[in-house]
Structure 1
Amino acid sequence: MSIKAYCKQLVLMVLFTLPLQAVAANNLKSVRIWAAPDSTRVVFDLSSKPKFNDFTLSKPDRLVIDLSNSKTKLNFSKIKNSSKLIKRVRVSKPPKKSTLRVVIDLKKSVKAKLFSLKPTAPYGNRLVIDLEPAVKTAKKIVHQPKTALRDIIIAIDAGHGGDDPGSIGPSGMHEKKVVLQIAKRLKSLIDKTPGMKAVMTRTGDYFVNLNRRSEIARKREADLLVSIHADAFTTPKPRGASVWVLRKGRAETEMGRWLEQKERHSELLGGAGEIIQNTDNEQYLARALIEMVSDKSLTISHTVASDVLKQMGRVTKLHKKHTESAGFAVLKSPDIPSILVETGFISNPKEERLLRSNNHQYRLANAIHKGIYQYFKKNAPSDTLIASQVTIKYKVVRGDSLSKIAQRYQVSVNSIKKANKLRSNTVRIGQNLTIPRS
């Protein structure tokens, strides 16, 4: 064969091979359903990046996904499903032969968000479908006067979950699993503390949207949000725990977004938000109030983070000896003090073994609990049970008077006199006083 003929044959082979490769069908390898209490995530595992179209149908409710140039050998009857939103997942007759049509039969009308994800170990290409009920019954929250002392509410957020494993250790341990175990231990410790109660953003192996996590904390009127994670790096050397708060710049950005959403002002300002009108002058008031809320929240976050970091340094090595700040999405709510605890480096073999240990998990949870309790013991809101149980001691300094001290602690002069068995309004420098709670 001449060189010219050989080249011609080679060109023809290339021309015929390229189209065949281009039309190789995308294989739907599996369907995974992750059910949360009020939402569901469905994940399609595919051999390559999906091209898709979707639409909904009613009577009955269905979500239809058409996957271009795709095929499957999957037995859909064997898909595990514990979702409150999904009846079943099945295939249906496609609009054309090269399309794979997948139908999700629904128990009710839903809002669906679909997006693709690139391969990240241990998963390959994925199409993700997030489902939420389409209509949520609006409930008007009526704030009744509270006469009984309340518990301090701590929202505990176990990072990742469901199809998001988080970081993966050398032996294959998933971050999502170990942080949930630590979170549950922390909840147990908080619930055993008189005057404190814990709520969790997730209680099982399912994914919760990052925005939804802070919404859960707000709905439960949490005094603090604690997000539990395990760090990782590209090399196994780094190790140690750290505690993070929201970076100031990110906090200001998020506050700006809230200011733009006038209908959400009441979520931050309670009853005050309902009486602020949408006039320019009164919106300045809203801005000032929201700035105050945000600044106070950030200040509390820093103080709690320092207390928690100090306690963690007693039970494990610290990667950062001072509180760090970053733009973590889970910390972004301007009205809820929030911290993120990195319990150690799961990518470090020694710390991965520690994080797997029940004893070490308890020690970490106990340290976080101690740090939180230490803060609230000193700074409990006045309407809480803990505030009523804590006695404030005050040493009189030059320039003090009973009226000034009473004003500082928002109590009456008579209550201070009664608590200290004083017969007059006179106090002396160096005198120790017990300040009753308001």
Structure 2
Amino acid sequence: MALALCALALGAFAIGTTEFVVMGLLPQVAGGLDVSVSTAGNLISAYALGVVVGAPLLTALATRLGRKQALLAFLGLFVLGNLATVLVPGYGAVFASRVVAGLPHGAYLGAASLVAAQLVDPTRQATAVARVLMGLTVANIVGVPAGTFLGQVFGWRAAFLVVAVLGLAAAAGVAAFVPVMAKPEGIGLRREVVALGRKQVVLGLTTAVFGFAGVFAVYSYISPMLTELAGMGDGAVPVVLALFGVGMTAGSLIVGPLADRALRPTIYGSLAALAVVLVMFRFAIEAPWSAVIMAVVLGAVGFGVTAPLQVLIMRKAGDAPTLAAASNHSAFNLANAGGAWLGGVGISAGLGYASPALIGAVLAVVGLGIALAAGAIDRDRTEDSGQAAEPAASGGAEHTDTVGAAEPVEAVAERVC
């Protein structure tokens, strides 16, 4: 069981590395492709475009496959996309390769989250999902700095060659350690689309867009914040970003068990804490020591909400959670783009480099409001139908709904052994 989760997390690690490593190699990429740095930066948008389009599209195409088959197919496309980045000449071809590499991002993470949830007892689903998604956070500590170093020493394409190898290793791990899980009977694309349109799923996705946009309003501009406001040198920026990744990992480790005990309260608490931390960040960024501390705290609080939201959306999608789980990663990428844009609006309006922190706090409060409204609607629905409200509302374990049409844990364990 642990080896299966590690294999799934390795895939997430490869995905996190390829998504962010280009940010540290923009000068090398620009020089190698003979374009400006700003034009090379569009390769980041190309990958995000692939994520937003690919999550629902590939998930829809894979509805006839078992989840293990789908995972292997997504990793195969991921490897091909990154190999294309290594091999193709010219900016236009590289741009297209980044779109292809981004296509399986959300589909893989959505399917991996579902498989992780099915491999464990319902009382540990959020923890299992957090362990898989922790691959993304560890990528920011290890994968991105290592990839940046390799790209600087051996050429920028070398970083993507290593990512392709990581993707192959993850595929081998999935093939060896993840048990075969038959596709649930009677669940096709139509039911997946219907599940995606459920009110609680839509509210969950909207919460992700606004709440996570608060994080990226700051993260997108943390480099000039550190150099212009905190007075830190350029060489200190990678160190702070690595510490931010440490905070992300710590948040994932802490929040998973909390969400298993009380899912919605964990989401409420994470978003409320995020709003407070972003306001504090606005003032802490003025001094180097406080900026470093708050960067770690922001990483822990900001990314701690990802796994609980993922589990909530999967549960509210009922027995057809695959498309909803993948679409959550599209929502996170929309948050990435939207938060960066709104933070830039504040800076362009002359409000200063600190303004994205307050803009992010407002976005987090909006996300919290949506989450609270969703909880109230869900509670009213369960009361009107005569069902018990979510135990999590009072701090108890939330077992009223579990992810998808999961096989009994004992049956899965037999195949693992």
**TM over 0.5, shorter chain:** no
TM-score calculated relative to the size of structure 1: 0.25
Structure having the higher helix fraction is 2
Whose Rg is larger? 1
Structure having the higher strand fraction is 1
Which structure carries more relative contact order (alpha carbon 8 Å, separation 6+)? 2
